[in-house]
């Protein structure tokens, strides 16, 4: 996975006071939603999402089907869009979300195919609980880069926040197939299937997360909640 990631273990505030990283995970974003269970109901305690990496490396900023070379003015605009995206990413990492959003808006206005800017703006909106707007940005980024798991994972988090659990599970299924070595995808997928009441898939997902990240307490706690037994084989799908 490309990009600059959070490198501080434990919970660390990143963008806003309500945004945290978990265990210094080297993924495109660090996040998790904490849940408590009472009387067989799932109660949402908090949504903690961190856009730890806004720099997503070699994302394409144009649709793959485009083959004709751009004219010089378009090339200049594309360069300006990438520069605005980089400025926005730097501002976001510094906690200057309003300035960052303005840069991402400018980048997208200059280059509507700028997947990095769309994804990064989505993370800002998600951190501010603007989940439907975030979903719109993640959907656009996914359409431009369908091979990447990051927009799917991010969109799933917003779906979970809106209690659209089936949509979240579908995104996480696809993300897990695209990037099966991403422990955070498996942890979040376990949460989604736990909320759907499918304990077998939840246990399988949490088990895969623990195989990749043995110190993942969220996965460990979830595995215990759904009755997972260490050493037992589980089919994640």
3-state secondary structure of 162: coil
Helices within 150-213 (DSSP H only): 150-161, 165-178, 183-196, 199-212
> Residue 237 — pLDDT band, cuts 50, 70, 90?
confident
Query: Which of 221, 188, 217 has the alpha carbon at shortest distance from 205?
Result: 188
Q: What is the pLDDT of residues 165-183, one digit of tens each?
A: 999 999 999 999 999 999 9
In the chain, where the domains are located: 12-179
pTM over 0.95: no
Instruction: Look at residue 209 in the predicted model and tell me its pLDDT.
Output: 96
Q: How far is CA 233 from the centre of its chain?
A: 28
CATH of domain 12-179: 1.25.40.10
Q: Which of 60-64, 95-99, 137-141, 203-207 has the lowest mean pLDDT?
A: 60-64
């Amino acid at each position: 996975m490309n990009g600059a990631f959070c490198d501080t273990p434990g919970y660390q505030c990143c963008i806003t006071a309500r945004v945290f990283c978990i265990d210094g995970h080297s993924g495109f974003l660090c996040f998790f939603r904490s849940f408590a269970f009472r009387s067989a109901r799932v109660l949402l305690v908090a949504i903690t999402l961190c856009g730890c990496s806004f720099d997503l490396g070699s994302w394409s900023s144009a649709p793959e089907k485009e083959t004709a070379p751009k004219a010089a003015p378009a090339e200049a605009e594309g360069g300006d869009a990438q520069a605005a995206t980089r400025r926005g990413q730097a501002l976001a990492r510094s906690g200057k979300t309003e300035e960052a959003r303005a840069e991402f808006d400018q980048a997208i206005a200059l280059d509507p195919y700028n997947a990095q800017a769309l994804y990064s703006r989505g993370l800002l909106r998600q951190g501010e609980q603007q989940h439907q707007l975030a979903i719109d940005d993640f959907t656009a980024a996914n359409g431009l880069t369908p091979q990447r798991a990051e927009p799917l994972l991010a969109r799933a988090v917003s779906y979970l926040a809106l209690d659209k659990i089936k949509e979240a599970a579908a995104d996480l299924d696809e993300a897990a197939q695209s990037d099966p070595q991403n422990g955070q995808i498996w942890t979040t997928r376990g949460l989604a299937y736990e909320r759907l009441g499918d304990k077998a898939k939840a246990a399988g997902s949490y088990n895969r997360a623990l195989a990749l990240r043995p110190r993942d307490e969220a996965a460990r706690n979830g595995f215990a909640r759904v009755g997972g037994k260490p050493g037992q084989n589980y089919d994640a799908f």
